[in-house]
């Protein structure tokens, strides 16, 4: 048998960093990254979150400082979550105009006008029982929660939110929110629906950060079963019919098949949320020296973009933006 010299050599295109950069199909840009932030009442407060190294609950003045840093790094926006002073059965502090989220939205406009202001809309941070809406028996009362979510959305729009992002997974909430926003004159406020949100164990660190763990039970009666994918398309179709401008898949890393399927099915921007547990796992393994931290961070984000997400929520947003800048 004669030795054959291969004519086709895929390796040719991988021989140098400059060639690899030239042929790369997926390029991250800082503007597609969005940083989630936890806002608390008070001034000068920075309360570190143990399970999320480098992250902390911040008072509004500290959010402004962080917003400047994010803007300088080229990050696209920040998503605000509120940790309120008081909680009740229905979560009424969610629509308090002097609550942490509306205050932080206003402060962001001055501190970092170039950032897109995203406000998460859910009631679990604001209810005494930690569920995503008022209860009937021991499950969330879907229809009773809709006007409350709408009220919170209007409060955030009044405070200057560019995008409201309902994360509650109640049926019909996008329509209720769209109708309330329009009635209040906020016809240009964008709705990014967490259309495909799984009942996931990866939210653990977030619930410490936001103080939103349910006091009993779980969220399986409204968040999606990890076993399902066809249902994801159904949720997306419904939310778009109700007026969603963008749709989100969450978590991101364990659900890349879903990101891809949604991206191939609909024409709106696709958002993926690299959640707290995905972040914490990378940090924890890196802290033990078991993986290369920055390399895995960028690989995880690239995978999410390659699957079809144009916008990525990530606790690595600022650092990744810096790394993207360095790598050109």
By annotation, the residues acting in catalysis are: 197, 250
**Rule CB under 5 A: is residue 83 a binding residue for Zn ion?**
no
Judged by CB under 5 A, how many residues of this single chain contact Zn ion? 3
**Rule CB under 6 A: is residue 129 a binding residue for ligand PBG?**
no
What H or E segment, with its residue span, contains residue 208?
helix 204-210
The partner in contact with residue 126, picked from ligand PBG, Zn ion, none with C-beta cut-offs of 5 to 8 angstroms by kind, is: none
CA distances from 267 to 73, 257, 308, 309 (A): 29, 17, 11, 12
Burial zone of 297 (CB within 10 Å; 0-12 exposed, 13-18 middle, 19+ buried)? buried
Q: Are 123 and 166 in contact (CB under 8 A)?
A: no
Please select the residue that binds Zn ion; options are 94, 124, 152, 174, rule is CB under 5 A: 124
Q: Are 240 and 262 in contact (CB under 8 A)?
A: no
Q: Which two tokens stand for residue 44?
A: 């000068």
When the beta carbons of 111 and 276 are compared against ligand PBG, the nearer one is 276
DSSP 35-83: EEEEEESSSS-EEE-TTSTT-EEEEHHHHHHHHHHHHHHT--EEEEEE-
**Rule CB under 6 A: is residue 314 a binding residue for ligand PBG?**
no
Can you tell me the distance from the alpha carbon of 19 to that of 16, in angstroms, rounded to the nearest whole number? 5
Can you tell me the distance from the alpha carbon of 159 to that of 51, in angstroms, rounded to the nearest whole number? 30
When the beta carbons of 111 and 165 are compared against ligand PBG, the nearer one is 165
When the beta carbons of 154 and 202 are compared against ligand PBG, the nearer one is 202
**Rule CB under 6 A: is residue 120 a binding residue for ligand PBG?**
yes
Can you tell me the distance from the alpha carbon of 134 to that of 91, in angstroms, rounded to the nearest whole number? 8
**Rule CB under 6 A: is residue 236 a binding residue for ligand PBG?**
no
Please select the residue that binds ligand PBG; options are 206, 258, 312, 318, rule is CB under 6 A: 206
Question: Phi-psi region for residue 176, left (φ > 0), alpha (ψ -120 to 50) or beta?
Answer: alpha
Q: Which two tokens stand for residue 94?
A: 């969610």
Segment interacting with ligand PBG (CB under 6 A) among 89-97, 105-113, 204-212, 316-324: 204-212
**Rule CB under 6 A: is residue 275 a binding residue for ligand PBG?**
yes
Which residue has the CB atom at the shortest distance from ligand PBG?
206
Burial zone of 199 (CB within 10 Å; 0-12 exposed, 13-18 middle, 19+ buried)? middle
CA distances from 263 to 13, 24, 71, 221 (A): 28, 20, 28, 26
**Rule CB under 5 A: is residue 224 a binding residue for Zn ion?**
no
7-66 residues near ligand PBG, rule: CB under 6 A: none
Q: Are 84 and 127 in contact (CB under 8 A)?
A: no
When the beta carbons of 111 and 209 are compared against ligand PBG, the nearer one is 209
The partner in contact with residue 71, picked from Zn ion, ligand PBG, none with C-beta cut-offs of 5 to 8 angstroms by kind, is: none
Please select the residue that binds ligand PBG; options are 47, 129, 151, 207, rule is CB under 6 A: 207
When the beta carbons of 122 and 256 are compared against Zn ion, the nearer one is 122
Judged by CB under 6 A, how many residues of this single chain contact ligand PBG? 13
**Rule CB under 6 A: is residue 170 a binding residue for ligand PBG?**
no
**Rule CB under 6 A: is residue 323 a binding residue for ligand PBG?**
no
Residues that bind Zn ion (CB under 5 A): 122, 124, 132
Residues that bind ligand PBG (CB under 6 A): 120, 122, 124, 132, 167-168, 203, 206-207, 212, 219, 275-276
């Amino acid at each position: 048998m004669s030795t054959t010299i291969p004519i086709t050599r895929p390796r040719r295109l991988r021989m140098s960093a400059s060639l690899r950069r030239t042929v790369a199909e997926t390029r991250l840009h800082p503007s597609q990254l969005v940083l989630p932030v936890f806002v608390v009442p008070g001034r000068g407060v920075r309360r570190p979150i143990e399970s999320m190294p480098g992250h902390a609950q911040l008072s509004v003045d500290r959010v402004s400082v962080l917003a400047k840093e994010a803007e300088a790094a080229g990050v696209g926006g920040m998503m605000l979550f509120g940790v309120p002073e008081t909680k009740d059965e229905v979560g009424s502090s969610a629509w308090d105009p002097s609550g942490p989220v509306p205050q932080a939205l206003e402060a962001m406009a001055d501190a970092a006008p170039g950032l897109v202001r995203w406000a998460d809309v859910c009631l679990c941070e604001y209810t005494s029982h930690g569920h995503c809406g008022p209860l009937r028996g021991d499950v969330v009362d879907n229809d009773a929660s809709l006007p409350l979510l709408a009220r919170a959305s209007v409060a955030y729009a009044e405070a200057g939110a560019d995008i409201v992002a309902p994360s509650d997974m109640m049926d019909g909430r996008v329509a209720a929110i769209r109708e309330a926003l329009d009635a209040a004159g906020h016809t240009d406020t964008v709705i990014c629906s967490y259309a495909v949100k799984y009942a996931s164990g990866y939210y653990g660190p977030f619930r410490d950060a936001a103080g939103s763990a349910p006091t009993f039970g779980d969220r399986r009666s409204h968040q999606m079963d990890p076993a399902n994918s066809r249902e994801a398309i159904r949720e997306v179709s419904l939310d778009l019919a109700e007026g969603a401008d963008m749709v989100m898949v969450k978590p991101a890393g364990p659900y890349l098949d879903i990101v891809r399927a949604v991206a191939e099915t609909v024409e709106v921007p696709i958002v993926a949320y690299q959640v707290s547990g995905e972040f914490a796992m990378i940090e924890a393994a890196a802290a033990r020296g078991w993986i290369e931290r920055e390399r895995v961070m960028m690989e995880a984000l690239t995978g999410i973009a390659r699957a079809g997400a144009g916008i990525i929520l990530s606790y690595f947003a600022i650092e990744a933006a810096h790394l993207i800048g360095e790598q050109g």
